[in-house]
Structures are given as structure tokens and as C-alpha cells.
Amino acid sequence: MLRSLIEAWPDEVYSRPLVTTRFIMVIAGGLGIDVTVEGGKTEQQAEMLRLRRCNSAQGFLYSPARPSGEVTGLIELIPQAVRQARRPTRNVA
């Protein structure tokens, strides 16, 4: 989703950016399409996205921009993280 829509969110419930965002989320949800919002900067924006069942977001709220070499290294760690997440946990009483 476009950063300009997220940054333009005012406090009014029926503003054009909010209505447009809702429309995009409803259409995408109806089509089974995941939506990733670009430009999340504040907790308020993140909460509004959660309320609209946004699948994922990225922006400075979550992490500042990273050098490409660092991102490549993080991407390479994904398979290991997935394997660890799938391991059964032991209940310790």
C-alpha cells in the first residue's frame, strides 16, 4: 500500500486517505491477497492497520533503513529461524 496514504491519515474517520485504505484492505481481503503497508512510522498508524486486519507492514517504526549487505545476511537467516519456530517446545513443570 502506498506510503502517501498512510502518512496522510488525519484524525477524521471519513477522510479520503482512510476511506481509500479501507477500500484497498476490503478488496484485497476479498480476493485473498496479502497487503504489506509501506511507511509505518507511528504506533497510532500501526494500531489503525491492526484494526483493519493488515497482514504486514514495514517502516521506521519497525526498523530504520539497512545497508543491502546487512539485509542479505538477515534473509539468509530466515530458513534457520523457520526451523527453530517449527520445533516442538517442551513443557517444563
Task: Quote the cell numbers at residue 69.
Answer: 549487505
Total number of domains in the chain: 1
Residue 87 within any structural domain of the chain: no
Q: pLDDT (tens digit, 9 = 90+) per residue, 54-78? A: 778 888 888 888 888 888 888 888 8
Q: pLDDT (tens digit, 9 = 90+) per residue, 9-56? A: 555 555 666 677 778 888 888 888 888 888 778 888 788 778 877 778
Domain boundaries, position 39: 3-65
pTM of the predicted model over 0.95: no
Query: SS3 for 58?
Result: strand
Task: Quote the cell numbers at residue 12.
Answer: 477524521
* Predicted pLDDT of residue 6: 53
Residues in CB range of 32: below 8 A, 6 or more apart: none
CA–CA separation, 93 vs 87, rounded Å? 19
